[in-house]
Amino acid sequence: MLVVMQEGATDTQIQAVIDRMVEMGFTVHRSTGVLHTVLGGVGPVEHFEPSDFEVMDGVKESHRIVSPYKLASRHFKPGGTVIKIGNVEFGGRHVVTMAGPCSVEGEDQIERAAEIVARGGAQVIRGGAFKPRSSPYSFQGMGEIGLRLLRQAADRWGLLVISEVMDQTQIPLLLNYSDILQVGARNMQNFNLLREIGKTRKPVLVKRGIAATIEELLLSAEYVLSGGNYEVMLCERGIRTFETSTRNTMDISAIPVLKRLTHLPVIADPSHGTGKRDYVMAMARAAVAAGADGLLVEVHHDPERALSDGAQTLRPEQFQEMMTQTRAIAQAIGRTA
Amino acid sequence: MLVVMQEGATDTQIQAVIDRMVEMGFTVHRSTGVLHTVLGGVGPVEHFEPSDFEVMDGVKESHRIVSPYKLASRHFKPGGTVIKIGNVEFGGRHVVTMAGPCSVEGEDQIERAAEIVARGGAQVIRGGAFKPRSSPYSFQGMGEIGLRLLRQAADRWGLLVISEVMDQTQIPLLLNYSDILQVGARNMQNFNLLREIGKTRKPVLVKRGIAATIEELLLSAEYVLSGGNYEVMLCERGIRTFETSTRNTMDISAIPVLKRLTHLPVIADPSHGTGKRDYVMAMARAAVAAGADGLLVEVHHDPERALSDGAQTLRPEQFQEMMTQTRAIAQAIGRTA
Amino acid sequence: MLVVMQEGATDTQIQAVIDRMVEMGFTVHRSTGVLHTVLGGVGPVEHFEPSDFEVMDGVKESHRIVSPYKLASRHFKPGGTVIKIGNVEFGGRHVVTMAGPCSVEGEDQIERAAEIVARGGAQVIRGGAFKPRSSPYSFQGMGEIGLRLLRQAADRWGLLVISEVMDQTQIPLLLNYSDILQVGARNMQNFNLLREIGKTRKPVLVKRGIAATIEELLLSAEYVLSGGNYEVMLCERGIRTFETSTRNTMDISAIPVLKRLTHLPVIADPSHGTGKRDYVMAMARAAVAAGADGLLVEVHHDPERALSDGAQTLRPEQFQEMMTQTRAIAQAIGRTA
Amino acid sequence: MLVVMQEGATDTQIQAVIDRMVEMGFTVHRSTGVLHTVLGGVGPVEHFEPSDFEVMDGVKESHRIVSPYKLASRHFKPGGTVIKIGNVEFGGRHVVTMAGPCSVEGEDQIERAAEIVARGGAQVIRGGAFKPRSSPYSFQGMGEIGLRLLRQAADRWGLLVISEVMDQTQIPLLLNYSDILQVGARNMQNFNLLREIGKTRKPVLVKRGIAATIEELLLSAEYVLSGGNYEVMLCERGIRTFETSTRNTMDISAIPVLKRLTHLPVIADPSHGTGKRDYVMAMARAAVAAGADGLLVEVHHDPERALSDGAQTLRPEQFQEMMTQTRAIAQAIGRTA
């Protein structure tokens, strides 16, 4: 860590900072410049908040040198993580598409969804059984019945299942039905949930919160990894900005940034990223072009009648077209899709 | 609700929208202008997403007319809600101060905190027993032991207790020790938690998420209210913006906006709002001047050695000074503090 | 326009709004619902601020129905605008690349840049002569000498020139040397400058401000178009958000949104969009995949020694590689580059 | 400056960075830790972009130690700047109110405004003669005639004048009529304008851009100060965030932050900060409570008929009430208003 003292910081102030650093286990190097004294701390780990030093008297600023995450870091596994579930590999040469409705609504609907997904060439079906809705008066999901229908439809069509776990009490249930646990954007910093998932050995996809920095997303991954569950995927799905022509602003640059900082597979969700069906295809192409290892998109046989998220859900023929286009983009960069 | 059709929308498109509106239970009024046809829908409730219509063919835009929340609305209770716990009233003429350390760290620490809080004239002590930390390697709280220490210290000094409930499994525990349940910013849209709290009859303080709009905060309150728990307070504690000189940007204007939209008491947390001790006092004054019904601030007998959030925690003498200053501001606007 | 009255709005309040609407030239349709009265106004133009009505007594909200821009709208020219300069077409099937250093620094530097740009297959050279820098102590550009060097290098290599005009007094100078006038992000709402450019007949590229909405960008285009200059291109170059791993957050979704809302060519600038060289290539691919009509990128023979913006400037070999990759992406979507 | 090398950075990489630092005029101190090598550079000035180093091979991050502004820094003048114009002092004990309409619309209107302003106890009248409007079809201001009317009304009522200068060509005109030059938010980084104003000896108020950081605002002040014009005031007027219940989010914390970082007087504009009349009073109180040295507010004898910004403009009786309330707040913190 580094602490930069203010111009005119007194010896007493500098000594107080050194004392605090030593107390925390750092070896301190002091270097005195014309205007500023800089203190460099070297230590085993750096679990501290730079701001704790910035409020000490005479301190101008403080910086952490070592990243606050370890296991999620690209340094930890430079070659990259490939997560293999059955025949499907996440993080390899093939760009995996996960698709399906926002919510499981019934047997017929999910069966039709599975057919659309499978015929389009996707390998994983998505569908929510527990729906977190901002209004208490909206449809809240089918619960376990929905999960069972989702599993059955997936099995009939040879698909894997991804579904969201809303809190730690639901983990056992989801383990029974889903191949991949999804942690939603609103739960990205539900650390109890992350810790419990870290104790399982089930692949997990962690979605970025709408106000979360990339570093915070990596720290959330670290929670799962530090429990011994190494099969973690990260998902960009839009951040909240001032722009209102899309529901969120999809941060496509997060894809190359994550590919550089971490070894974990990076997925993109253009449905939530834009919130509007008409922009999903262009953003799916952009995500693949930027290096995403997979896509997560919403498709429904009749989006106008979907019980949730209809506005961002592709029609069947749009989904087919998206698959064709993302396949062409993948090939242009030496991958398959 | 209102649906504005695009220029040149066809009769078939218009009819499709009308059919969908009727299907949802609306009575539809059609008015045809030179460029646009506008459809007005009147119905019992408006649980729909305007964007569901915006993706229909020929639709330009759609608007909800009635607010998506009811029980939280100022119309529902124009006179304002006063929450009375013992002798303390939230939402009345007196501006209530809630103060204490970020985390309960031990008996001596919390006892000293209670003394500072009580002598300063505050009426509620705060302190976390379960700490959600962005790094899995940081201090995670004392758990139930911490709650017991907090309660004992509060009782000795005649203070009420507010403490955070992190997930629904902790509700029974918190009910035993705390007078007010706090829902943290990261849990503002943990709807399962909100729903369960709605079944209790314990006052709750809901903190605004760092990326939550004011409307979303009110919808979260609605979750609790719709369960029959009417003792809800809302807390502004900073939103995430591009500015980095403070940890968050405290949205002081949320205070008058909330006072206008809702009857619920509005609390301000300048400690989290700024993230830096040196700005807490000015922002506490500003919050009271803007009409806040209460303050939530962090104070510790030795912030430099606090196990969490030290940078934003007031020193004892700063807390005393803050109480003096906010009292003067309260008097200037005809209140007490 | 639409005005939604509050529940319980009085007849006097409603009449006051109607009077004001009539006064502004609207024909008013009144429709009375169970809870709300809605007033629809039909009129020749809609140059008004909805908020002017929202502050009238009894008004709940107000909406503009017609977009505030006309000439920039896709409706105005559904087929799309193609701007032709010499042999180069912007907005056609070919994705045009504009590249060069941030600033013109000297004859040798700009000559080497022109060679890199031309050999890479780009068609336009960029380079600033007047540099707006946030610090008054930084390099401020070479002025007219720089423009002359830029023109000469471009002519030797058969390239077009794009260069920034900082204020209206520089327009005559830029007209002499540059084929395309660039309006920088900080000047996007310099309406005097836009109006003056509207009087010229020179193609202009308007960059989106870092806090500008897409609607505001289109209104800025409208300023130029309304002066009779129809050769306007728009450029996405990153918006300011809370994320700090890139200098700005490049809003790739702005590309398909703009393609839908306007007939004007849409350019993407991944150099400013990310601020970091290592992410430029991925974002250039993403922009082309999302439908951009052109790219604007920074390249320098020795970026470490560039006098400005070195961190986001490609090395020559990176630029070559980017051209190869964006060409492959363009082909994958049926275009050339 | 500080450069932190990546884990495993090679000696060649480290040497390349050292060479570059020496070339720029720094004396370099190298300190080698277990994981990272840190290079500290000491030099006369620090006009460089940290990101220029961050893209060098083997570099992890780079930090500027010295603030990029000097003359605007609180260190430069710890006691604070007081700007005296006639009998009015900005930055002293008295909180100065500047008020008036958004635009000068005619003789009668500005005369009535001056009366309201003066009778309310404010000391400066505001009013725009050149209006930057986002739509080219809106009212654009009265020009010099408006300035003359503004000056005459001010003189009749013993008020100072503040009015906006839109670009450098207007400076001579404004110098004739206005006591304070206002640089609008959209021009905060119009560096040519700032530089020209720096050559005058007229007090200037620089408004913060809606996407400008506090550091950038101080750099803009530095442009004026470095020209020898030391009478600069800064104005917080709202930043752009995701929240839409107010037009902008007024960053009240910018007031104490600025008071700490700079010696220049700090003004608050709650009219633009909120965009809605009903919230102006609460935010004016908050701004004074937070330590603002002055207020800039919009008032009009008939806001519903104002030609611009009516929604955020106070009615005469609201302005009177605001003056009463801010005076009470000022007294509560030991000031006058």
Residue B237's pLDDT is 97
Label residue C58 by pLDDT band (50, 70, 90).
confident
- Tell me if C319 sits within 8 A of C99, measured CB to CB: yes
**Start-to-end Cα distance in chain D:** 43
Nearest to C237, CA basis, from C177, C182, C317, C190:
C182
A220, β-bridge pairs: none
The answer to whether B44 faces chain A, any CB pair under 8 Å, is no
> In chain D, what residues touch A38 (CB-CB under 8 Å)?
2, 40, 65
- Tell me if B160 sits within 8 A of B85, measured CB to CB: yes
Residue C44's pLDDT is 55
- Tell me if D5 sits within 8 A of A40, measured CB to CB: no
Q: For the residues B194-209, what does the mean pLDDT come to? A: 97
Whether residues D283 and B253 touch (CB distance < 8 A) is answered with yes
The answer to whether D318 faces chain B, any CB pair under 8 Å, is no
Q: For the residues D170-191, what does the mean pLDDT come to? A: 95
Q: For the residues B29-55, what does the mean pLDDT come to? A: 72
- Tell me if C223 sits within 8 A of C193, measured CB to CB: no
Calculate how close chain D gets to B23, using CA atoms only, in Å.
31
> In chain D, what residues touch A240 (CB-CB under 8 Å)?
242
Q: For the residues B75-99, what does the mean pLDDT come to? A: 95
**What are the φ/ψ torsions at residue B103 (nearest 5 degrees)?**
-120, 150
- Tell me if D43 sits within 8 A of A48, measured CB to CB: no
Residue in chain D closest to B241 (alpha carbons) equals: D241
Choice among C48-52, C101-105, C106-110, C175-179 with the minimum mean pLDDT: C48-52
Is the pLDDT assigned to residue C45 strictly greater than 60? Answer: no
CA distance D31 to D39: 6
Choice among B40-44, B128-132, D174-178, D305-309 with the minimum mean pLDDT: B40-44
> In chain B, what residues touch D253 (CB-CB under 8 Å)?
246, 249-250, 273-274, 279, 282-283
CA distance B242 to C33: 42
Tokens of C110: 């700009």
Is the pLDDT assigned to residue B35 strictly greater than 80? Answer: no
The answer to whether D47 faces chain C, any CB pair under 8 Å, is yes
Residue A259's pLDDT is 97
Whether residues B256 and D250 touch (CB distance < 8 A) is answered with no
Beta strand C96-100 pairing with A294-298: unpaired
Calculate how close chain D gets to A191, using CA atoms only, in Å.
26
- Considering the segment(s) C2-63 as one domain, its CATH architecture is 2-Layer Sandwich (3.30)
Instruction: State the chains in contact with D (3 or more Cβ–Cβ pairs under 8 Å).
Output: A, B, C
Is the pLDDT assigned to residue B12 strictly greater than 80? Answer: yes
Instruction: State the chains in contact with B (3 or more Cβ–Cβ pairs under 8 Å).
Output: A, C, D
Q: For the residues D94-99, what does the mean pLDDT come to? A: 98
Is the pLDDT assigned to residue D290 strictly greater than 90? Answer: yes
A300 to each of A296, B53, D122, how far by Cα in Å?
Answer: 13, 16, 62
Tokens of C240: 């300011």
Chain A, window 249-268: residues with a beta carbon less than 8 angstroms from a chain B beta carbon: none
Calculate how close chain B gets to C186, using CA atoms only, in Å.
17
Q: Higher-confidence residue: A24 or C287?
A: C287
CA distance C242 to C144: 38
Residue in chain C closest to A270 (alpha carbons) equals: C253
Label residue A46 by pLDDT band (50, 70, 90).
low
Which runs of E-coded beta strand occur in chain B? 2-5, 27-32, 37-42, 59-63, 83-85, 88-90, 96-100, 124-126, 160-164, 180-183, 204-207, 232-236, 266-268, 294-298
Mutate to test the interface with B, among D95, D213, D253 (most CBs of B within 10 A): D253
CA distance D87 to D266: 19
Nearest to D312, CA basis, from B253, B212, C38:
B253
Calculate how close chain A gets to D67, using CA atoms only, in Å.
10
CA distance A214 to A236: 9
CA distance B235 to B188: 11
Q: Higher-confidence residue: B40 or D162?
A: D162
CA distance B19 to C137: 65
Residue C46's pLDDT is 54
Q: Where are the domains of chain B?
A: 2-63, 74-332
Is the pLDDT assigned to residue D229 strictly greater than 80? Answer: yes
Is the pLDDT assigned to residue A51 strictly greater than 90? Answer: no
CA distance D52 to D59: 10
Nearest to C125, CA basis, from C255, C298, C249, C288:
C298
What is the tens place of the pLDDT at every residue in A68-121? 788 999 988 999 999 999 999 999 999 999 999 999 999 999 999 999 999 999
Is the pLDDT assigned to residue B42 strictly greater than 80? Answer: no
Residue in chain A closest to D211 (alpha carbons) equals: A242
The answer to whether A2 faces chain D, any CB pair under 8 Å, is yes
Q: For the residues D225-246, what does the mean pLDDT come to? A: 96
Q: For the residues C90-114, what does the mean pLDDT come to? A: 96
Residue in chain A closest to C283 (alpha carbons) equals: A290
Residue A61's pLDDT is 80
Is the pLDDT assigned to residue B197 strictly greater than 70? Answer: yes
Choice among A172-181, A251-260, D4-13, D204-213 with the minimum mean pLDDT: D4-13
Characterise B236 by phi-psi region: left (phi > 0), alpha (psi -120 to 50), beta (else): beta
Q: Measured between CB atoms, which of D40, D240, D244 is closest to A38? A: D40
The answer to whether C132 faces chain D, any CB pair under 8 Å, is yes
Is the pLDDT assigned to residue A126 strictly greater than 80? Answer: yes
Size of interface A-D (CB pairs under 8 A): 55
Dihedral angle of Cα A72, C241, B55, C77, to the nearest 10 degrees: -130
CA distance A295 to A275: 15
> In chain A, what residues touch B193 (CB-CB under 8 Å)?
167
CATH of A74-332, one of 3.40.50.2300, 3.20.20.70, 3.30.420.40, 3.40.50.300: 3.20.20.70
CA distance B202 to B222: 15
In chain B, % of residues over pLDDT 90: 70
In chain D, % of residues over pLDDT 90: 70
Label residue C63 by pLDDT band (50, 70, 90).
confident
CA distance B23 to B112: 63
Tokens of C85: 């300069």
Choice among A30-44, C53-67, C158-172 with the minimum mean pLDDT: A30-44
Calculate how close chain C gets to B300, using CA atoms only, in Å.
30
Is the pLDDT assigned to residue B298 strictly greater than 70? Answer: yes
Residue in chain B closest to D209 (alpha carbons) equals: B243
CA distance C252 to C80: 20
> In chain D, what residues touch A61 (CB-CB under 8 Å)?
63, 65
The answer to whether B335 faces chain D, any CB pair under 8 Å, is no
B62, β-bridge pairs: B3
In chain A, % of residues over pLDDT 90: 70
Label residue D285 by pLDDT band (50, 70, 90).
very high
> In chain B, what residues touch C35 (CB-CB under 8 Å)?
42, 65-66
Residue C47's pLDDT is 61
Nearest to D282, CA basis, from D300, D297, D267, D293:
D297
Whether residues B213 and D291 touch (CB distance < 8 A) is answered with no
- Tell me if B258 sits within 8 A of B266, measured CB to CB: yes
pTM exceeding 0.95 = no
Label residue C192 by pLDDT band (50, 70, 90).
confident
Calculate how close chain D gets to B335, using CA atoms only, in Å.
12
Is the pLDDT assigned to residue D86 strictly greater than 70? Answer: yes
- Tell me if A137 sits within 8 A of B47, measured CB to CB: yes
Whether residues A290 and C283 touch (CB distance < 8 A) is answered with yes
D99, β-bridge pairs: D125, D297
